[in-house]
């Protein structure tokens, strides 16, 4: 069950300097994104590659500093916090990365990787306590405690991702930000890892921000979903509402792309034409307009703001819906 708001993100702007063909550009990766997360809730963030969802997740955990905006954890400002307060908050807001091959140090034993945050924070009082915590955490994610002495190359992809999850829950956090945690795994292993994360959410009373490009996966794990396109949230509603009645043309395209065994349940006429615009040449007005089947003249000159679209809390950024 969801409780009080534990994470509040408002108007986050993130840009990066880039060079292309000898020219310098400022690329807007996140453009005024806002969201909130309640205790015990799983919020999905969905969008195609390059939409800014990973950058938003990394910004929330403090790996990327935003240009502007606010991030509050339990009411405390994470961006303006001092080093000691920020270190404490980072123990409570942890991340599971997409690629465990890249996020795990190949030269460190699994047990040392799992205990790293606890080692840095001085969480463990004795070596025996540390060893016991590593064993209990590996057991919690479905791995044999003997894996503590192994190295990443000795594990399968699914086992390495379980290690990534184990590392994120020791010491026990309040929020897990999961960045595409199952996209590189086989379908059968995906289901196992998703079930594991839901079990851990219930056992440890975690809140979760689940990032994915796959609305089908989001539908299995989240209660609410925010749809991102080119750095902006374009639709936000309960997950079941979005899957059954998507409103934004981009959301309709994402839902239409979910494989369905019954062709009669497909959403027709929702697939856009063309490729996503380049971040170096961001279009005026609505960024989705060049691909949108509903675009009007207004869409090419005026950016739509998120507005209420119904009594169920849904918001949408579209001039024509």
- Supply the CATH number for residue 178's domain: 3.40.50.300
244/239 Cα distance (integer angstroms): 9
Residues of the chain with pLDDT under 70: 1-3, 260-274
Residue 311's pLDDT is: 74
Residue 209's pLDDT is: 96
Q: Is residue 289 part of a domain?
A: yes
Task: Name the DSSP letter for residue 187.
Answer: H
Q: Is residue 321 part of a domain?
A: no
Whole domain around residue 168: which residue ranges? Answer: 5-316
* Contact between residue 179 and residue 148 where contact means Cβ atoms under 8 Å apart: no
* Contact between residue 34 and residue 236 where contact means Cβ atoms under 8 Å apart: no
Q: Is residue 111 part of a domain?
A: yes
Residue 1's pLDDT is: 41
Residue 145's pLDDT is: 96
- The pTM assigned to this predicted structure is 0.90
Q: Is residue 96 part of a domain?
A: yes
287/154 Cα distance (integer angstroms): 45
What domain count does the chain have?
Answer: 1
CA geometry: angle at 71 spanning 219 and 92, to 5°? Answer: 75
Residue 93's pLDDT is: 94
Residue 312's pLDDT is: 82
């Amino acid at each position: 069950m969801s409780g009080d708001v534990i994470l509040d993100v408002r108007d986050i702007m993130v840009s990066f300097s880039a060079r292309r063909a000898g020219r310098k550009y400022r690329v807007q990766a996140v453009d005024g994104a806002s969201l909130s997360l309640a205790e015990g809730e799983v919020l999905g963030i969905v969008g195609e590659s390059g939409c800014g969802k990973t950058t938003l997740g990394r910004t929330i955990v403090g790996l990327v500093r935003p240009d502007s905006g606010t991030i509050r954890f339990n009411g405390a400002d994470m961006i303006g916090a001092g080093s000691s307060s920020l270190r404490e908050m980072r123990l409570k807001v942890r991340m599971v990365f997409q690629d465990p091959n890249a996020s795990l140090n190949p030269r460190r034993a699994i047990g040392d990787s799992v205990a790293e945050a606890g080692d840095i924070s001085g969480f463990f009082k004795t070596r025996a306590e540390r060893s016991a915590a590593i064993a209990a955490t590996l057991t919690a994610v479905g791995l044999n405690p003997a894996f503590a002495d192994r190295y990443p190359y000795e594990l399968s992809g699914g086992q390495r991702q379980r290690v990534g999850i184990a590392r994120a829950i020791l010491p026990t956090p309040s929020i897990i930000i999961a960045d595409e945690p199952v996209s590189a795994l086989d379908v059968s292993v995906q289901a196992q890892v998703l079930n594991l994360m839901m079990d851990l959410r219930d056992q440890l009373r975690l809140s979760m921000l689940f990032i994915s490009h796959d609305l089908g996966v989001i539908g299995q794990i989240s209660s609410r979903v925010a749809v991102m396109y080119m750095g902006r949230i374009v639709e936000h509603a309960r997950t079941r509402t979005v899957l059954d009645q998507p409103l934004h043309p981009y959301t309709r395209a994402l839902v239409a792309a979910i494989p369905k065994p019954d062709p009669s349940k497909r959403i027709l006429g929702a697939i856009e034409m063309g490729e996503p615009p380049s971040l170096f040449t961001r279009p005026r007005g609505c960024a989705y307009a060049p691909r949108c089947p509903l675009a009007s003249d207004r869409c090419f000159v005026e950016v739509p703001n998120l507005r209420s679209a119904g009594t169920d809390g849904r918001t949408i950024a579209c001039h024509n819906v």
